[in-house]
Amino acid sequence: MFDFNRYSQVAGKLEVDDLDIASAFREKPLDEDVLRCVRYMHDVEHHTTCYLRNLLNTKAHHDPEITDFLTIWNYEEHWHGEALGQVLRAHGEPAGATRVAAMRERLGWKLTGSPLPWLALSSVTRHFLAVHMVFGTINEWTTQGGYARVVTLADHPTLGELLRRIMKQEGRHIDYYRTKSVELLEGDRAAQKTVRRFLKVLWSPVGTKVMPTDETRHLVQTLFGGPEGTVISDRVDRRIDALPGLEGLGLMHGAVAKYAA
């Protein structure tokens, strides 16, 4: 049982002031493959504000607890992006508002497009909340798995500590999303069928809608390809299988086959 009151008390800005990030990466910079993944993660974490804007135009805003959660979730995700931005700055790269502004300019109509498609999506099914909660669960599982893989690949004590702190907060996000997903799916065959249909048609790895395809391909190949990456992607698929009515989808297997071939 997820204790939302407890979560709201412990949630907050990611604390990294005790980490000497600039010195740590000056002494031991990241190799290009890992740094490229950090760029991707920085950009996606900062994009959650735009995602939330569209989401709150749907039925999600009808549930006060969900809107409370999304408010806290978005705040924490922002500070994840800021922490990753410190890693980029330590490598002499733009980060934070400067980098985000360039990304949003690149996205153009994809960013500023009307929220009407989201409203339409929300209106076509009474199971929209189940769809959203399951998508959120899977996205958080893949994000946390990706961070864990970066920790291993980078073998960098400061980056490892920073990412473990992010993963701890992501773990609480997972607990909420998964709890709501099970609650909305359990015993409801119509909801299960609807969610399966939406996942098959619309789900893709986090960031694919806003990041260049080459960057998504690199991230998936680096973090989820090969024997070690397969362990993580298979774990995500098993967790999806355990959600009521969602067994056998093989979403991560399909994503890896598509992007890491």
Domain of 153, CATH number, reads 1.10.620.20
**Is 251 contained in some domain?**
yes
3-class DSSP assignment, residue 188: coil
150 falls within a domain: yes
Residue 128 tokens, joined = 């929209």
Domain membership flag for residue 2? no
Q: Decide if 15 is inside a domain.
A: no
Phi-psi region of 186 (alpha: psi -120 to 50; beta: other; left: phi over 0): beta
Structural domain includes residue 207:
yes
CB of 22 within 8 A of CB of 83?
no
Lowest mean pLDDT among 37-41, 99-103, 135-139, 250-254: 99-103
- This prediction has a pTM of 0.93
pLDDT digits (tens, 9 = 90+) for 181-222: 999 999 999 999 999 999 999 999 999 988 999 999 999 999
Instruction: Identify whether 11 is part of a domain.
Output: no
- pLDDT, tens digit (0-9, with 9 covering 90-100), for 27-68: 999 999 999 999 999 999 998 887 787 787 787 777 889 899
Cβ contacts of 186 within 8 Å, gap of 6 or more: 244
Q: Residue 97 above 70 pLDDT?
A: yes
Domain ranges, residue 62: 28-259
Any domain includes 122: yes
Cα 24 from Cα 47, distance rounded (Å): 27
Q: Which tokens belong to 142?
A: 């893949």
Domains: count for the chain:
1
Does residue 158 sit within a domain? yes
